[in-house]
Structure 1
Amino acid sequence: MLSVHPNRDLSSLVGSRICHDLISPIGAIGNGIELLQMAPRDSAAELNLITDSVGNAAARIRFFRVAFGAAGDQMMGRAEVMSILSDLSAASRFDCEWRLETPQPRVLVRLAFLAFQCLETAMPHGGTISFKSLDTTWRVTGCTQSLKYDATLWASLTDYDIRPALSPAQVQFGLLPVLAQEAGRVLSSARDDTDLHIAF
């Protein structure tokens, strides 16, 4: 049985994570508006900054809504998931490949998005993250030229006796095992020099 995580309140870490990730694009929007106010001349650069920042913030909000929100019994179609990942990729260092053709339960998409965030922490220079399912097993794979692997964090996904204190940027490592167990899924992970895998 999965034990209670030592972090007193994972929800507060989630809130901190969301705020941290959104403050940058929202701050850039404010900067763009200030520049427009200061320079009423040709404002194409400032408008591009605002447009890109709005898109970045919207992409993150849509992603967070799935990763951290309630899943229920809803299904998510390929087009919806692809739209979220495409918008996120446009504002990040990652290319995403969604290789599932049919609608999928939102609860499993949520696990896949949390797995994405785990992989993201190990890929500081970006790379490609792919999602696929074989029979009933999902596999999320990160491919990069440079892995930054925190052995304790990754061990905590599968060893319930390892419960490191998490920062907001690492909250997905606390949520994924709990939510996977609730969904009746068993997590596993593996890695080599350039690839890192999470299966459930």
Structure 2
Amino acid sequence: MGATDVNLAELIGSRICHDLISPIGAITNGLELLDMVGAVQGPEMELISGSVGSAGARIRFFRVAFGSTSDQPLGRSEVAELLKDVERAGRVRVNWNLTEAVPRNQVKLAFLALMCCESAMPFGGQVDISASDTGWQVTGTADKLNIDNDLWKNAATGNFANKLTPAQVQFALLPETAAAMGRRVAAEIGTTRVTLRF
């Protein structure tokens, strides 16, 4: 996959997220109106509301992870709020250990790395994201990890022996997106920890 393919993937990601966020927002508004007038109440309403909220959070997350990039800064509160919304529907807790606003393209790399870590933690865990002058570090920690050796051993190059599934696309996009920004990915695997640096 070359730089042109990465750009095309970003445009497709942006388009899909853009087209889906409006109807999901409309459904959320409709549910709020129904709640205000007391038309529908009970566990069914909670289930629908929770599902729509989760879908909206994931689409906003995917818009950054898979969408087109820029140097536009994203503030700490904006990123932390987005990650908190995504956390509600999953088993992984995320610590965004940055206090300053950072360019959107760097947040994109962090989100792709976060998705890689999530794939190794099917039973839940914690992901810590930090950055320094030497680069970014995304570390996933869990009591039980499920490591796909082909993915993790080749995460730096993006050259995999086995064909990727849609659930693994972040492993292909991370090194290609990093390379387009002049960065290299390094991966470390432990018994209870996986780390990606770029």
TM-score norm. by structure 2 comes to 0.80
Deviations 1:128-172 (A, max 9, x none): 011001224100010101111111111221235545311100000
Which residue does 1:55 correspond to in 2?
A: 53
* Aligned ranges 1:119-138 → 2 under 5 Å: 119-138=117-136
Which residue does 2:146 correspond to in 1?
A: 148
Q: CA deviation at 1:42?
A: 7.5
Q: CA deviation at 1:51?
A: 1.2
Which residue does 2:106 correspond to in 1?
A: 108
CA distance in 1, matches of 2:40, 2:136: 50
The answer to whether the Cα contact below 8 Å between 2:131 and 2:137 also exists between their aligned partners in 1 is: yes
Which residue does 2:168 correspond to in 1?
A: 170
The answer to whether the Cα contact below 8 Å between 1:124 and 1:148 also exists between their aligned partners in 2 is: yes
CA distance in 2, matches of 1:60, 1:68: 11
Where structure 1 has 5 or more consecutive residues not aligned to the other structure, the ranges are: 34-40
CA distance in 1, matches of 2:71, 2:62: 18
Question: What is the aligned counterpart of 1:43 among 35, 41, 44?
Answer: 41
Q: For residues 42 and 72 of structure 1, do their structure 2 counterparts lie closer, same or farther at Cα, with a shift above 3 Å needed?
A: closer
Deviations 1:23-51 (A, max 9, x none): xxx9xx9xxx9xxxxxxx97311111111
Residue 144 of structure 2 aligns to a residue in which SS? coil
Residue 186 of structure 1 aligns to a residue in which SS? coil
CA RMSD of aligned residues (A): 2.8
Paired residues, what number?
177
Identity %: 44
Which residue does 1:139 correspond to in 2?
A: 137
CA distance in 1, matches of 2:159, 2:46: 48
Residue 140 of structure 2 aligns to a residue in which SS? strand
Please, which moves more after superposition, 159-168 or 87-96? 159-168
Q: For residues 161 and 170 of structure 1, do their structure 2 counterparts lie closer, same or farther at Cα, with a shift above 3 Å needed?
A: closer
| 2:98 aligned partner, one-letter code | L
| 1:150 aligned partner, one-letter code | D
TM-score norm. by structure 1 comes to 0.79
Which residue does 1:198 correspond to in 2?
A: 196
Where structure 2 has 5 or more consecutive residues not aligned to the other structure, the ranges are: 32-38
Question: What is the aligned counterpart of 1:183 among 160, 181, 184?
Answer: 181
The answer to whether the Cα contact below 8 Å between 1:156 and 1:164 also exists between their aligned partners in 2 is: no
The answer to whether the Cα contact below 8 Å between 1:66 and 1:110 also exists between their aligned partners in 2 is: yes
| 2:71 aligned partner, one-letter code | D
Please, which moves more after superposition, 87-96 or 42-51? 42-51
Residue 123 of structure 1 aligns to a residue in which SS? coil
| 2:194 aligned partner, one-letter code | L
* Structure 1 residue ranges (4+ consecutive) displaced by more than 2 angstroms after TM superposition: 159-164
CA distance in 1, matches of 2:194, 2:46: 35
Greater RCO, 1 or 2 (C-alpha within 8 Å, sep 6+)? 1
